Amino acid sequence: MGDTIQFIRYASLVNRMFANVFVEAQKPLLKLLANVSGIDRLIASGVDLPASDFHAPLFSLPAIFKTSVDTIPAKVPYLFADPSIESHWRKRLEQVPGFRIGINWHGRPGKGAFRYRNIPLECFAPLADLPGVQLISLQKGAGRSELIDSKLAQRVLDFGDEIDQDHGAFVDAAAIMKNLDLVIACDTSIPHVAGALGVPVWLALPFAPDWRWLLDRKDSPWYPTMRLFRQTTRGDWTGVFSEIQTAILAELKTRGIH
């Protein structure tokens, strides 16, 4: 789903060339993608497709448009939270004081390199200890049970099944993110949603990151509001989160939060 969220931005470029643009996407994402510019019709994967003159996978569009690092269509936001759901979560989160940080530490289960992106939940403990900071879980599916069984359970606000249960994938998560000060996540769909919304997001990356995050840079040309924190040694999340903690302290100082 993160791939779809990242490359759906190309729909507006295709729309400049053709009268009608049909997008086939994962059914749980249809509500989230409903207001993306350039899409004339959203179609759930598996449904019969209408007749068309051309067809291309989303993942092929950067090559078709001869995208380089300098020409990535990086204008954000291109994804938008549902206004009524955003308002609902704004009222809920008004009762949560301090610097609000949404966290996500576990991607979907996978083999090989996938497992290296997951962050041990205890790495967030020092952040929970920072004065004026409130951590809010954005974790769904695999990984959420870790919080329930963790000592951090009392220090991380978890809305559980209230998030994305009724409205579709990432619809509540997007609305929550619009009411946070920061999102910190592993390399899964959550940072793509945050980046597409144009909210501040810090992405913690393993030593050998996915190709899209490039190398030797702390920003992402795909998402202007994203900051990258990289392992310098394979498996060393402690070093990554020490850097993140220092950055948060600097942010709190700037905002006068002690």
**Residue 109's pLDDT is what?**
72
pLDDT at 149 over 70: yes
DSSP state, residue 137? E
Give the DSSP letter string of 84-124: HHHHHHHHHHTTS-SEEEEEE------SGGGGGG---GGGG
Q: What is the pLDDT of residues 170-209, one digit of tens each?
A: 999 999 999 999 999 999 999 999 999 999 999 999 999 9
Phi, psi torsion values for 162, nearest 5 degrees: -70, -20
Q: What is the pLDDT of residues 5-43, one digit of tens each?
A: 999 999 999 999 988 999 999 999 999 999 999 999 999
**Residue 110's pLDDT is what?**
65
Structure-token pair, residue 123: 């790495």
Write down the pTM of the prediction: 0.95
pLDDT at 112 over 70: no
Mean pLDDT, residues 83-98: 95
Say how far apart CA 28 and CA 34 lie, in whole Å: 11
Buried-state track 7-17, b at ≥16 Cβ within 10 A, e below 16: bbbbbbebeee
Q: 83-255 sits in which CATH class?
A: alpha beta
Give the residue range(s) of CATH 3.40.50.2000 domains in the chain. Answer: 83-255
